[in-house]
Amino acid sequence: MTAHTTSVPSEAPNTDARGMWLGLSVLGLIVLSVFALRFGLRPISWGSIWSALTAFEPLNPDQIVLREIRAPRLVGAVLAGASLGMAGALMQGMTRNPLADPGFLGVNAGASMGVVLCVLVLGITDPAAFVWVALGGAFIASLLVFLLGGGNQANPARLILAGAAVSALFLALSRSLLLVSQQTLDVYRFWVLGGFDGIDFGTITALLPFFAVGIVLSLLASFVLNALMLGTDTARSLGVRVGLAQILIGLAIVILCGATVSMAGPIAFVGLIVPHIARWIAGADMRWMLVFSASIGAALMVAADLLGRLPLFGGNMQAGVMSALIGGPVLIWLVRRNGVRKL
């Protein structure tokens, strides 16, 4: 009952093309970032962007908006998009399941549960405190998933079932607690919408070590993941210590997603869509896959955040919703155009 255990040897895209695509996607990210700084409720001229970087005037309102609001928002979106993209690629690679999103390790559900309990029991309503509560909840939930999934002899199919069961239970429990307490609902409602609205550099700096560790761990994991994707038995015979590798990958996913969810709330879609888009460009090699997932994820997130600020979508649509609105059709178009490449 595992998903596709057969992995089709795909024709390896030549390295030059991949390098070119990588350059293009990074260029796209830079262009989008500049737009994200320029546009918004208060359009800021190109000159102000430049002078905010070179000659900061503390009393210039344009520059304050740029430094205090737009810049942290942009950095947050880039970090979140890259992390979710990488975590999604790792998750789908490890479980060999195209339906697995990084939330399946229980991270989002655990974080939500943590926030709900924190408001309900401790009466804390300060969003700044939620960062650590959410992170703690995420770690506890994913530990539970990992134990139920079979510990270090985890079998991908079981891990996924355990993750889905734990996530659903935690989400249902938090939802029923919310129905009981109106006051908690009022606080939680805004946290769960997520997005990059009230984000500041303080939060980002506090979480930066987590992002750094997560990214380094994923890049390390990508080397064993290529072997792991051939199936656990094959990987073992190739000399991979499967249990250890799975723990390493799981840890990377949890750290990346935990940091993201505590910064920007549960953003579900990016981790699911981006790896599929990256797979068409990068082919099956996980090392390329991860890099592409990071750059495409970041670009998608910045674009979503930018589009969400347009008046057409109410001026303030969450980036999570917008990224699904953009990413979904792209995914379908790619499937139609390029045919199927299995995991």
Partner 1 sequence: MILRLPFLSMHLPARAITVSLCLVSLLVVALLSALHLGAYPLNISQIGQAVLGHAEGIQRMIVLDHRLPRILTAIGAGAAFGLAGSMFQTMLRNPLASPDVIGFSAGASCGALLAMILTGGFVLFGALIGGVVTALVVIGLAWKDGLHPYRLILVGIGASLTLSAGADLLMTKLDALTAAEMAKWLVGSLNARNWADVQLIWVGLAVLLPLSLWLQFPLTRLAMADDIANGLGVALSSMRLAITATAVALVALAVSVAGPLPFVAFVSGPISRRLVRQGKPALLQAAIVGALVTLLADMAARSVPLVHLPTGVFTAIIGAPVLMWLLLVQFKKGTL
User: Is residue 10 close enough to count as binding partner 1 by CB under 8 A?
Assistant: no
Q: 3-state DSSP call for residue 233?
A: helix
Question: 280, 341 in Cβ contact below 8 A?
Answer: yes
First vs last Cα of the chain: how many Å apart?
Answer: 15
Residue whose CB is less far from partner 1, 128 or 335:
335
User: Is residue 9 close enough to count as binding partner 1 by CB under 8 A?
Assistant: no
Per-residue x/- track, 246-285, partner 1 (CB under 8 A): -----------------------x--xx--x---------
Question: 160, 95 in Cβ contact below 8 A?
Answer: yes
> Which residue in 116, 154, 115, 146 sits closest to 2, CA to CA?
154
From 171, 217, 257, 261, residue interacting with partner 1 (rule: CB under 8 A): 171
What does the block give as tokens for 300?
């998608």
From 54, 180, 233, 311, residue interacting with partner 1 (rule: CB under 8 A): 180
Binding span for partner 1 by CB under 8 A among 117-125, 170-178, 252-260, 292-300: 170-178
User: Is residue 313 close enough to count as binding partner 1 by CB under 8 A?
Assistant: yes
From 27, 34, 172, 216, residue interacting with partner 1 (rule: CB under 8 A): 172
From 97, 246, 260, 262, residue interacting with partner 1 (rule: CB under 8 A): 97
Residues in contact with partner 1, total (CB under 8 A)? 54
Question: 83, 275 in Cβ contact below 8 A?
Answer: no
Binding span for partner 1 by CB under 8 A among 119-127, 165-173, 213-221, 294-302: 165-173
Question: 301, 81 in Cβ contact below 8 A?
Answer: yes
User: Is residue 321 close enough to count as binding partner 1 by CB under 8 A?
Assistant: yes
DSSP letter, residue 342: -
Q: Which pairs count as long-range contacts for 36-41, CB under 8 Å and 24+ apart, including other chains?
A: 36/70, 36/73, 36/74, 36/77, 36/302, 36/305, 36/306, 37/66, 37/70, 37/71, 37/74, 39/306, 39/309, 40/65, 40/70, 40/309, 41/309, 41/315
Site for partner 1 in 121-160 (CB under 8 A): 148-151, 155, 157-158, 160
User: Is residue 117 close enough to count as binding partner 1 by CB under 8 A?
Assistant: no
- Least distance from partner 1 to the Cβ atom of residue 180, Å: 7
- Least distance from partner 1 to the Cβ atom of residue 261, Å: 18
Question: 99, 156 in Cβ contact below 8 A?
Answer: no
User: Is residue 339 close enough to count as binding partner 1 by CB under 8 A?
Assistant: yes
Residue whose CB is less far from partner 1, 171 or 298:
171
Question: 24, 282 in Cβ contact below 8 A?
Answer: no
Judged by the rule CB under 8 A, the positions of this chain that interact with partner 1 are 1-4, 6, 97-100, 148-151, 155, 157-158, 160-162, 164-166, 168-169, 171-173, 175-176, 179-180, 269, 272-273, 276, 313-314, 317-318, 321-322, 324-325, 327-332, 335-336, 339-340, 342
